[in-house]
Every structure is written in C-alpha cells, then in structure tokens.
Amino acid sequence: MSAAARDIAELARLGSSTVYEARGRRGLVEQRFQRLLPGSRVAGPARTVLCAQNDNRGVHELVSRLQPGEIAVLTMPEPEPVALIGDLLVTQLRERGAAGVLVDGAVRDLDELVGMGVPIWARWVHARGAAKDRRGTVDAPVRVGGATIRTGDVVVLDGDCVVVVEAEEVAAAVPLAQARERKEEASRRTYLTGAISYDLYGFRAQDQGEE
C-alpha cells in the first residue's frame, strides 16, 4: 500500500468529525445526506461531475473515467430530487472499483442499491428520473453544502457528516487527526474514573463566580 493510500485509509478510520475538528473545523459539507448502507464509512479521492440540470449524461462519462478507490461526486447546478443514479449505474461504478458515491441529488432503486454493498450518501431517494441530453462537465470543481470539492481532493464520509480535505493537505491532516484522537481518548479515560467535564473545564468555578 502506498503512503497516500495509507493516509486515506487512516482518515476513513479516524472519521469525519475528528478530521473536521483537528483541522480547525475546516472542510465540512454543510448539508445532511442519507447514508444508504448502514455502518459504512469511507474516504477516497473525489472524481467529480457537474451534470446539466436534471440530466445524468455526465454521470455516464464519469464512470468511464473513474479509477479504483475513488469517490464519485455527482452534482447539478441546483440540487433537486431527481435521480442521477440507480442500480445500473451503480453496478458499473462497483465494477470499476468505486470506494463510494456522494450524490447531491437523488438516487432510486434503493433496495437494490443497499443490497449491492456500495457505500452511497444521497440527498434524496426519489423515483423521478434524469434526462440524458446534455454532456455536463467531468472533473469540474463543484460546490456541495458550501464546500468546494475538486477531483483529487479526499472526501471522508460516515454516519456523522461529509468532510473534504484538499489534496495537497491530506498528508498534514493525518497527524493532526491522530493527535485529536489521542486527546479524546485521554479525556475518555479520565471520565471513566468518575471525573466530569463541568469541573475539568472550570465551568463550575466560573458559574459560581457569577452568582
């Protein structure tokens, strides 16, 4: 496994909230997505597409360019509950080695998608289908929940949220997140002895001083 692959795997293990907090609360995608596969957590380099509005022709082109281990990030100019993917496109993504899929739009064929085992986060589940008339732009920088995601940036997805780490900052993000994890583990051990954060943070003394 390459150093870059190890870094990505470690970010997935550490999780979105730890990565977000460790980097000074940066990179959060401020949009709630449905995690279709319970318990799934992944990280990987993004492969983006800005589809034409309510049209998924661009997703078909993205599939042709996707590399193993990448996260397919599917967007439109204005998010709407229009299904950009269903089981046939996800079958192709799975066979090409997609680590996961982030859809700032809708998916359909929910039961089939869950059974396929590909980690997918979607804004909606809806049967309304997309057209296939306009090309869209693969590898365009896209905006999702106020965050910019470029092809090659690492996306971390789990049950908490979605976080993006710029490609050039991935190596630096790992030790920061590991340090955050160690700090939280130390706090957990302290709380298991019966101590409480109200006292350790000095809140009790502050509150009593205001009385």
Kindly report, residue by residue over 137-156, the tens digit of the pLDDT: 999 999 999 999 999 999 99
Residues 31-53 have pLDDT tens digits of 999 999 999 999 999 999 999 99
Whole-angstrom Cα distance, residue 107 to residue 121? 9
First vs last C-alpha separation in the chain: 59
CA pair distance 122, 141, nearest whole angstrom: 19
Residue 210's pLDDT is what? 77
* C-alpha of 13 from chain center: 13
Please determine, for residue 186, whether its predicted confidence score (pLDDT) is greater than 80: yes
Closest CA to 160 of 23, 19, 48: 19
**Cα distance between residue 169 and residue 192, in whole Å:** 35
Q: How far is CA 123 from CA 69, 102, 129, 134, 152, in A?
A: 22, 9, 15, 22, 22
Query: Which two three-digit tokens encode residue 140?
Result: 């365009």
* CA–CA separation, 204 and 211 (whole Å): 11
* Global confidence as pTM: 0.95
Q: How confident is the model at residue 1 (pLDDT cuts 50, 70, 90)?
A: confident
Residue in 97, 60, 73 with CA at minimum distance from that of residue 152: 73
